[in-house]
Amino acid sequence: MDFEDLVNTPRKIRILSISVAFLLAFPIYFQIMPSLIDDEMMGGGSSGPSGKWTVGFVESPITLQESTGLLGDGDTYDTFFDVITELDLGYIELDVDCNDNDEPGPGATDSADGSSDVSGAEGEFEDQEAEGPCSGGDSGFTMRWDVTHNYTGQNITVEDMSEGEIRSMWNDGGFGEGTWAATITADINTAPIVGGFVDSDEEYDITWTAMTYNLVLEPVVEVET
């Protein structure tokens, strides 16, 4: 069969024309459609409708507790906290507690000094320095780094936002994992008494906390009365 046999009638010409058009359009269709689908999803198809939502946080802390043992004046202790999680991170916190209960009177209370090293954590975090007296109760010092911006863990209500917009606001951006470190330095204040000194060392309790969370969203349905 030669070409003339394919076009020797009007019907054959129409069939050939349709076949050629289909062969040209078929690859173009599959080249264009993925981009159209992506554009539709980015334009709001995946984020859903805007409305009023209750935003909640189901928290799961990851903790590490350790003690320095007895440290003399100027002695240091290095502490490390490795964070790996599949959940979002709200914040990282370091709490150092101590209780100087062996001094004969006021004016000779031991204290704790601390400096962080966040170079091993994913993201841009600033190192901190802190100090505090070992006076019992809320003693020592605390350092905190927000991984999710302005994280509080408190339930809130938002309006005129889609689910996608809310989730884009409350997430850790893939940051916070890695090794968090700090150095604790003992500051011992001794009070002389007859026969020597009462206090020459102090023990410090260290607690690291990585607060992870799941975001819980519930649409608010307002009933008109």
Predicted confidence (pLDDT) per residue in 121-166, tens digit: 999 999 999 999 998 777 899 999 999 998 999 999 999 999 999 9
Q: Residue 224: phi, psi to the nearest 5?
A: -75, 140
What average pLDDT is seen over the chain? Answer: 82
Nearest C-alpha neighbor of 206 from the set 178, 186, 222, 225: 186
| Residues 208/92, Cβ–Cβ less than 8 Å | yes
Task: Inform me whether the pLDDT recorded for 196 exceeds 90.
Answer: no
Cα separation, 110 vs 98, in Å, equals 9
Most confident of the ranges 34-43, 48-57, 111-120: 111-120
| Residues 127/118, Cβ–Cβ less than 8 Å | yes
Task: Inform me whether the pLDDT recorded for 33 exceeds 50.
Answer: no
Cα separation, 148 vs 98, in Å, equals 30
Q: Report the pLDDT value the prediction gives residue 197, as an integer from 0 to 100.
A: 54
Nearest C-alpha neighbor of 59 from the set 217, 220, 216: 216
Write the DSSP string, 98-160: -B----SSTT---EEEEEEEEEEESS-----EEEEE-BSSS-SEEEEEESSTT-----EEEEE
What's the mean pLDDT in 76-99?
97
Predicted confidence (pLDDT) per residue in 118-131, tens digit: 999 999 999 999 99
Distances (CA, A) of 24 to 3, 9, 14, 76: 20, 23, 16, 75
What's the mean pLDDT in 27-44?
45
What's the mean pLDDT in 45-57?
81
Counting every residue written for the chain, the total comes to: 225
Q: Give strand ranges (E) for the chain.
A: 51-72, 76-83, 88-97, 111-121, 129-133, 141-146, 156-161, 178-187, 192-193, 196-197, 201-219
Q: Report the pLDDT value the prediction gives residue 170, as an integer from 0 to 100.
A: 93
Q: Report the pLDDT value the prediction gives residue 199, as an integer from 0 to 100.
A: 67
Structure tokens at 163: 């689910």
Task: Inform me whether the pLDDT recorded for 43 exceeds 50.
Answer: no
Q: Residue 97: phi, psi to the nearest 5?
A: -115, 150
User: What residue spans define the domains of the chain?
Assistant: 3-45, 51-219
CA angle, residues 158, 164, 166, in degrees to nearest 5: 30
Class of domain 51-219: mainly beta
What's the mean pLDDT in 178-205?
82
